[in-house]
Structure 1
Amino acid sequence: MKFNRIRFNKRSVIVTWLTSYISVLLVPIIISGILYAASWHVVESEVNRANTNALKQMELAIDNSLGGIERLSLEISLNKQVNAFINTSQPLTDNDYYDLVTISNDLRVYQTANEFIEQIYLYYKNSDTVISTRNRTDSRQLFQMLDGQTLKGYEAWKTYLDQRYIQAYTPVTITEDDNAYKAVLFAKSVTLANRDQPGAVLLFVMKDSKLLANLPPSEATSVAVLDKENRLVASSGLEQTPDFLTYDKFTGENGLFYGDVAKEKVAVSYTTSARTGWKYMSMIPAERFDDKMKYMKSLVYASIILSLLLGGLVTFLFLRKNYNPIHLLIRSFSMKAGISFAEGTNEYGFLQDALNNTFAEKEQVDRRLHQHRDAIRSHFLQGVLKGNLEQDIPVHESLSAHDIRLDSPHFAVLLFHIDHFGKFQEDVAIDPQKVKLMQFILMNVVEEVIGLQNRGFTTEIDDVQACIFNFGVQEPDMDELQRVAESVKLFLLDHFHVHLTVSISAIHEDLFSIAEAYQEALSAMAYRLVKGSGAIIRYDELPSSEAVRQAGNYYYPLHVEQQLINFVKIGDYEKSSSIIEHIIETNGSNSVLSVPLGKCLMFDLASTMLKTMNEIGSQGNKKSFMEQFNPVERLSECETMKEMKREILSILEQVCQSIQADRKQEYSPLGELVSAYVKANYAEENLNISMIGEKFGITPSYLSKQFKAQTGDALLDFISRTRLEEAKKLLTEQPLSIMEIARKVGYNDINTFNRTFKKFEGITPGKYKELKPL
């Protein structure tokens, strides 16, 4: 793999590095651009400042001159000769002409007082006489000397002059002796004591060239003055008025913007007169800025070119130097690990994939070893329980290999049978994954409860969870085993609603006697048939063989069996169920009833029930009843006498109800019966489909299907809604806590109550209680 071959690979690390180095090279280039832009801004600001200063000087000079003209107009207005002629009317007399000559001489004196004044006209409204420093005329002749188009005709001009009071500037074009020049006309009314009399108007004419006389000479700079009415008062260096020259364009007191004059881009600086409100503008070609920036631009270009040349050379050298170690590493992976590097592959990606594969293989090997270690350890514990220890390997080596450390030679075995999976058993069927999860939780709880003073080693064997209990340094005691069993049962019941049956062996003093302890625990667990589910059965409390031999048989005489058959045939559930309960309780109170005798009693009762149902089957159509409820299978699946009792009583109740229904020729739908049962027993914590099915002698799956078909509602939802209806009444009517209300409607776990309430009502019970009507 050569450098000059892979440099064209778009995915190669060379491209990434090259991009990074170029990005670094761009930093000085960007900085140069920023410096150039900043320099441009500085030059622009300086030029604008210089232009603004010049405009300020011109503005100050013009404003001072205009101020002088306004003061002069006030002085003329106070002249006695000027005021005396105001009341003169046509026709004029010789004395009037003499007064006009006097006034004209005075005006000539006033003209010489201000160099900005080109001419002074005094218009008398009463006599329509216009006096200047040179001659006398009237308003029409004066209008003809002005630009009539600007003034919009003589009538508009006459109306303008006849205003009661005038003080305004107007740009005009004066024509005298065939010579025209642009000027500014300042009109000022001569103030009278009696404003109702026709007065006079002073008209001062100022050439725009004199207004701009104080501007520093510049061939490239154009100047313009714009009044508030958007009229061009004066200009210099403009052949035509630009489109942007509008008063509204120049917002603010001063500023700078760019525009076009005769298709040439110019920079326009402007300022505003505080006296007149005129806008003073200076327009400079934009290329003047470029002239000032040529040197800076040359320096920037030179620095960019130098950075690219030197930076490119350094980049090339460092690329080759930095790539060599990666090239050697990839070649080593390719040769020693047998991993080929394909053209077009990124080097870092190749190394990362190779390392990830190596780590993944290592983790997979470790995981498999851990899994096998757990399986081998479990297999070893099963062998210990069954007495199948390898004779060739010393016991202490086997224990060490499986990380098993013993504190004493005293052992016992505990077996745990899960009777009901609680929260893990939402319906009749249970997911195998949940079964494994519950078994895992059970084994961890057992080891945790045993604690640090003793040691426990758990494993699964023959579908039950077994624990080899090794006592600590303290004296072995059966009460400690009893405590562990009760603690495990209570924890799982409170947190998961899981019901357990626990069997405990006797205490033994040898590792090889664990197999005997396991058999004792199995014998105690088998006695679950007699004591029922949920018990803690100790081997030392089982009846002895001698006691069982002396007991001989169980109580179930023939006449009692016949009485049971007779009561069933007439449909008397109360008496027939009383007989069955008497039989089971009598045998259950016999402390020496053995497991085989208990099984015989269960099968005997089942036989009696089958015999009775067969006899009933000849009366009417009972074959469908047998097929529907499948009593044989249900009785065969019972594991304890308590379960057998519930099944028999459930089947018995269905049989009696069927017989009574045949007699009354009535039919009671199953949905109505189940609904009534739920409403009457909603407060039962264990109310679920299995319990209701046991009550009605129907399999839970069939019960759910029939209830859905008859009522259109799922049975679990119906149970929840029935409970919640009562809970809402208690929330609004009773001053009870949420926990007390939950227990009253059948929820022992407040979290389950809150979750179910929010599912159906949309809010929590606490929120519902806050929103209850006052």
Structure 2
Amino acid sequence: MSIHVRAYKLFYKYLFSYIFILLVPLIILGAFIYVYFLGIIKEDVISNNMNKLDHIRYVIDDHLKQIRVISDQIYIKNMTPFFFEDNPLMSLKTIDDLKNYTLTNNFISDILMFNHNDQYIYSSTSSYKIPLFFEKIYNYEQWDENSFIHDMNIYETPVVRPMESILLRGQQDKGRFTTLIYPLSSGGAKPNQTVLFLIAEKSFQNLLKDNMKDYGGNTLIMDSNNHIVTALKDDPILQSPSFQNILNASTDELNQTVTLEHVKYIFSIVVSTETGWKYITLVPVNRIMEKVTSLKLIFMYILAFIILISCGAIYYLMLVNYKPILLLKKFTEKIWKDDNPDRNELTSVQGALEFLNNRNTELYSRLEDYEIAAKEYMLFQLIRGKFKSREDLQQKAHSLGLTLTKSWMRVITLKLGHIRHSFSVDSILELIENSLPDELEGYARDHMDQENIVLIIASDEMADTSLECILASIQSSLKEKFELISTVGVGRAYQDVSQLPKSYIESMTAIDYRLVKGTGQIIFSYELETTQSRSAFSSQFASDKLKIYIKQGDLEQIDNILQKVIHFLKQDKPSMFEAKLICFEIINAVVLTIEEMNKQQPTAPMNSPDVFLLFEYETVDELVETVKKLSNEISSRLQTISTNHKASLIEQMKDYLKAHYSDCDFMLQQMAEYFNMSQASLSQYFKEHTGSNVLDFETNLKLEKAKQLLISSHLPIKDLSLEVGYYNVNSFIRRFKQVIGITPGEFRKQFQTE
């Protein structure tokens, strides 16, 4: 009973602690999100306002540039002032020009031109005497005839009249316009002409509304003299001294929170470098808070819902998850006997884990010893030729923590003198591996006779140029630290993993050459090459032929090749090194070919040549016996897989043709190279086993595909011929008619009729 009570105490302890852990971050998160959202929304409003203001500035600056261009064009066309009464025709031309400018720029409501000392003003519609113009045409509330003439005589630079009401001709209501005044002069002379551009308030308003809609604030444009050109809203605070003070203290681009009439605003300003006009937004802070408050309520509801659901989920999961703890307690009692009955479930499990940990520590130490031995064994198997593909090697190496990924691999053997007992072989191996630069991957192991160190390296390049320096450095380190004089034999680099035993044979033979070259040297295997001509026999040619004859199952030819190898070994008496390499190449070629065939028709695996066994041979006669045994084994093996493999090879050839028949560049020679056969051998082999030659089989595939396309598609005959592998449409049509009896077009019509 006491056990159950203790269990439930632990249950509720965890339950409340989990709920507490849930609530604390949620509350902190809620407070953080509230503050964070406020900042984000504020920053978003400021950023959006600044972007919108900058866009408005860009658009209006562009319009003002166009207005400046228009004023310059008007001046160029009217460089010599004229008077209406003296030249009425010139006035008509001026009116037409002004009308054209107005029609091509919808931002401008009207354009006026005034020649100083003239009694007329010219607009885009007509010419008017000055009194009539101000009384009937454009009746400014705060600008009369006398003020106009006075201003025209004193303005020498562009001036902006702030937005003001003007009673327009024929209208009852007043319109609000901004008047841009551009005196026209050249070379600093006193202006004798002035152009006035009337910009309707709605032109500015539409621009502001399109860009600043739905942001809950006010936007205004002010000229360089801080006169309001236009504003979205007529707000009294824009005329307040406090606003003017803020405006005077503002820089070119500014965002700040200001207080106007006891109300907080986010104040944003952008100043045009072109015109000096200011573009300003005022957004009440409480507008931002409305969004925050709405989000806050939504968040609180969501938070409360999450807490309720989470608490329920915690309670349910505690019921579900606590049961395994009790079961685990019972299970640990079977593994480890708890002497303390007052322990709760978790402390009992802890005691059992401590017991298991001690056991695992012992096992881990044993496993480390196994990994070292496993690495040694893998490297040993590698130079024995037990890995046939780089994928197999990398998979095994990766599982043991080894890296052998580079393209070229070779074996290097170091012949050491007597190693003193005070030095361990492991420390020598570690020094050799650590002496390799980063661009090389390499691992060393001691040879069975304890006097040789075998080093397997992988590199991206085949060159031997820098390798000699690296090996010389290793020799120096061995002499300095262990007082060892080492002779280094270097085998060739190979990309094929299965050729690594050959590199080992070369390195070991190079070591033996120390009797001639001397100890303490670095001897590359190519230094041992004999000058004896080998034109009478090529092991590479023999191995290539063997591969072909094995795939064809031609036992007679296989036996001929092997007899030639035996004859060469006995009669030509090559060096022992050369004989070993020939035997390795021949045996390895046979094994790899049979393994490739076994992928199609699996049988018992054939053993690779044991490189260490080859190295033990002292006479050519012993090697000859090995080749003879190989011949018998090949014959026995091919008797088993010959029939199935022939059928498989034919199927592979058919599959190859089905995959490449539609290629316009298909060549029989490419197919022959793919199957490692001559063109004549492939053709003969294919016809013997199918009754048809390769080209007829290919043509049949092309024409069957052509018939399908003629029936199922509307491709033009020219495109269709390319689809089935004919560059020349005439060749396709001729071949189709020759085999089918009718042309492709007649075939398609016949099918459609049916």
Q: TM exceeds 0.5?
A: no
Q: Which has the larger radius of gyration?
A: 1
> Per the shorter chain, which TM-score range?
0.3 to 0.5
What TM-score does the superposition give when structure 1 sets the normalisation length? 0.31
